[in-house]
Structure 1
Amino acid sequence: MFKHLIKLIWNRRKKNSLFLAEIVVSFMVIFILSSFLIFYYQNYRKSLGFNYENVWVLRYSNPPELKEIDSLVRYYDQVRNVLKSAPQVKSYSFSGGNFPYSNSISNSNLDYKDKSFTGVNVYSIEGDYPKVMETELVAGRWFTAEDSLNKHKPILITKTLSQEMFGADNPIGKITGKAEKEAEIIGVINDIKSDGDYLPSGNSMFSQLKPGDVKWAGRILIRVSPDADAAFESNLYKLLSNTMKGSSIELSHLYDIRASRNRQTTTPMLIFAIIASFLVFNVSLGLFGVLWYNINQRKGEIGLRRAIGASAFAVNRQLVTEALILTTFSLLIGVFFAIQFPLLKVFDLKSSVYFIAIFISCIFIYLLVFICALYPGKQAAAIMPAMALHEE
């Protein structure tokens, strides 16, 4: 039977070319969309590595009249006293401009023996940072005040970076970098997804802010109690404004910054999904029309099959099977192009993401063609032999 169907398809290859092209294009669109959706979903399932709830971000600038380091240190000591005295402030930490969801980039290379890791995300923080962000320590310890006196610069790294650098070996106490850039690993924390819920965590390291570094830190991360409301926020802003005279300050919520960062990621994909949906809908109408047209052109053939004893079910099955076989030929072409994505590292996603997307796209296309072929096949099966032969 299949040999006979393939022969029929081959004899109508010119008329089936449009069908083939529509399936290949639809498959590629669904494949690309599925790849990104799977990529986002896999990242979304992973832990954030910190808690953004009830964290406020204070952006500040240095007062122009203060130039000396000692003056700035005393100035920000007053800010610390204000934050300590605020009843609903649980903890705080000065931070560089690179913090979770900040859209700010601070990268560096991290070397260990013959290994070199580029594009490592660098966070400059204070010792109370784990209380503010509620990050989880996997091994080692956090920064202490005495670390600023160490010969080597103390750093913490994320779990994935530790595994890539040292494998199963204990990273604590290892010296990274060269010459004046040598640093000692004192702790390992869980990976953090700083670019949003849908993007990977990436490799990260944490360095300690010294007292004099507050002049360029520019941010204070503040964890407040859950009952902190708009009234407290207004009072805190007034207190800080009165204390930080000459500075421009801005208070925002990490929850809102996260939502904005996620929108930057999902909006382009949502637009692409809408466009893909319209395309698939139009292709569905096209497939339905092509199948309907082909059936109308084959009334004589269908009538003859019915006249020699073929049942309505057999006719319906033949037409649906023809469509699925033709779909298989189209998918073989589409899969050939899709396999090039992991080989050429297009979009730089994991190979498993592409293969799952190929499987999902094939299932989707088969279901789409089956549904589009089902009704025309049913209509063909209802053709009366006498009427079809009479028209011929």
Structure 2
Amino acid sequence: MIKHLFKLIWNKKKQNFLLITEIFISFLVIFGVFTSLVYYYRNYKKPMGLTYNNVWVINFQNNKQFHNTDSVTQYYATLTAMLKNMPQIKTLSYASSNIPFTSSTSTTRLIYKGQEIRPINFYRVGDNYREAFNMNLLEGRWFNHDDVVSSNRPVVINASLKESLFGNGRALGQLIDDSHDDKHVRKIKVIGVVQDVKDKGDYLPSGMAMYNRVDTSDMRYIGKLVIKVSPDADAAFESKLYKAVAGYMKEASVEIEHFSKKRESTNRSTLIPIIIFSIVAAFLIINVSLGIFGVLWYNINRRRGEIGLRRAVGASGGSVSGQLISESLILTTFSLIIGVFFAIQFPLLNVFNMAASTYVMAMFLAVAFIYLLVFLCSLYPGRQAAAIYPAVALHEE
């Protein structure tokens, strides 16, 4: 039976070539959609790594001219003391521009045992930054005031960077080269490890990260102040806070944002491309489905004599329907063999730097989807073929 089906398909290879091509292109598109969906879903299932509710950020662009470092320190110390006197503010921390749920990114590299590790997300944060976001400390400690006199620059790394650098080994106390050339070799010391933080939204990975303590020299360029507020902080308090900060920083433009809203905005921006891609893929699937349905319907009309003869010699309606469905699935198999050959190049070549398991899962889902699609499209034409009466079909011939 299988040999007979292959013979029938080969005899109509020119007619079947277009159908094979349609299914092949559909598989590649569906593979792309499922790859994105699997990738986003796996990232979504991972813990966020921070608490964003009741956390705000004060954005400011300070144009004030400072004469020396002491004046910078005193200026921001006064602002900090003023904000700490507000009972609704539980903790606060200055930070670089790449705070969570923003498009701002800063990366660096590290050299460890002769190997370069990159890209690493690079953050400058204050002593209370972890407390503000309730970040989970896995090992060691966070920054404190004693780190000012440390001989080696202290850093806190996340779990992903620890795995890349040390594997299952010990990270605390390790010294790492932080040099960009061979003439100026600097050392940094790992004092803590935190859980990975998905600071680009629910659907994107955290990546490797390194946190550095904000020092006096950084304050000239800092433009973010992260604050954790009490649950009863309302719009009236936000207005009061804005007036206080804007009144103190007369030379600066001030804006207050909520991280809960920033997260929603970031997630929308992430999902928009995949939604558009999915809509395009849906239209393609509809066209392919109509194409498969039309080709099968056309084949039935052309093969009414063949079908009628088979019925006349005793073939059941189920066997006739099964033959047409089997032919469609064999054509689909040819298309999928070619499609899987191209799809498997993605994990082999590490395209888009995704885990190989993501591509493999997407391939299985795409193959299953295409088989199901072709089966459903061929089911009704197959039933129509099974309903052909032998006498009527032979009479028409």
Question: Which category describes the TM-score, using the shorter chain as reference length?
Answer: over 0.9
CA RMSD of superposed structures (Å): 1.3
SS at match of 2:219: helix
- Closer/same/farther in 2, CA of residues 197 and 335 from structure 1, 3 Å limit: same
Superposed counterparts of 1:94-173, under 5 Å: 94-173=94-173
TM-fit CA distance, 1:101: 1.6
TM-fit CA distance, 1:53: 1.3
- Please say if residues 63 and 245 of structure 1, whose CA atoms lie closer than 8 Å, have aligned partners that are also in contact: no
Q: Quick one: which of 321, 330, 334 aligns to 2:326?
A: 321
State the match for 1:285 in structure 2. 290
AA in 1 matched with 2:76: Y
AA in 2 matched with 1:218: G
TM-fit CA distance, 1:82: 2.0
State the match for 2:77 in structure 1. 77
Q: Which runs of 5+ in 1 are unaligned?
A: none
TM-fit CA distance, 1:180: 4.8
State the alpha-carbon separation in 2 of the partners of residues 9 and 327 from structure 1. Answer: 12
Q: Which runs of 5+ in 2 are unaligned?
A: none
TM-score for both structures, normalised by structure 1: 0.97
- Please say if residues 53 and 254 of structure 1, whose CA atoms lie closer than 8 Å, have aligned partners that are also in contact: yes
State the match for 1:243 in structure 2. 248
State the alpha-carbon separation in 2 of the partners of residues 384 and 180 from structure 1. Answer: 88
**In the alignment, does 2:363 pair up with 1:358?**
yes
Superposed counterparts of 1:192-341, under 5 Å: 192-341=197-346
AA in 2 matched with 1:235: K
State the alpha-carbon separation in 1 of the partners of residues 62 and 71 from structure 2. Answer: 11
AA in 2 matched with 1:110: L
- After TM superposition, the structure 1 stretch with the greater mean CA deviation from structure 2, 29-38 or 52-61, is 52-61
- How many percent of aligned residue pairs carry the same amino acid? 49
- Closer/same/farther in 2, CA of residues 109 and 214 from structure 1, 3 Å limit: same
State the match for 2:59 in structure 1. 59
State the alpha-carbon separation in 2 of the partners of residues 92 and 180 from structure 1. Answer: 34
AA in 1 matched with 2:212: S
- Closer/same/farther in 2, CA of residues 347 and 113 from structure 1, 3 Å limit: closer
State the match for 2:19 in structure 1. 19
State the alpha-carbon separation in 2 of the partners of residues 262 and 27 from structure 1. Answer: 27
- Please say if residues 115 and 165 of structure 1, whose CA atoms lie closer than 8 Å, have aligned partners that are also in contact: no
TM-fit CA distance, 1:61: 2.2
State the alpha-carbon separation in 1 of the partners of residues 111 and 345 from structure 2. Answer: 33
- After TM superposition, the structure 1 stretch with the greater mean CA deviation from structure 2, 253-262 or 201-210, is 253-262
Q: Quick one: which of 385, 393, 396 aligns to 1:388?
A: 393
Q: Deviations over 1:153-199 (max 9, x none)?
A: 11011112112211222111111115552111111111111222111
State the alpha-carbon separation in 2 of the partners of residues 285 and 55 from structure 1. Answer: 51
AA in 1 matched with 2:146: E
State the alpha-carbon separation in 2 of the partners of residues 44 and 37 from structure 1. Answer: 10
TM-score for both structures, normalised by structure 2: 0.96
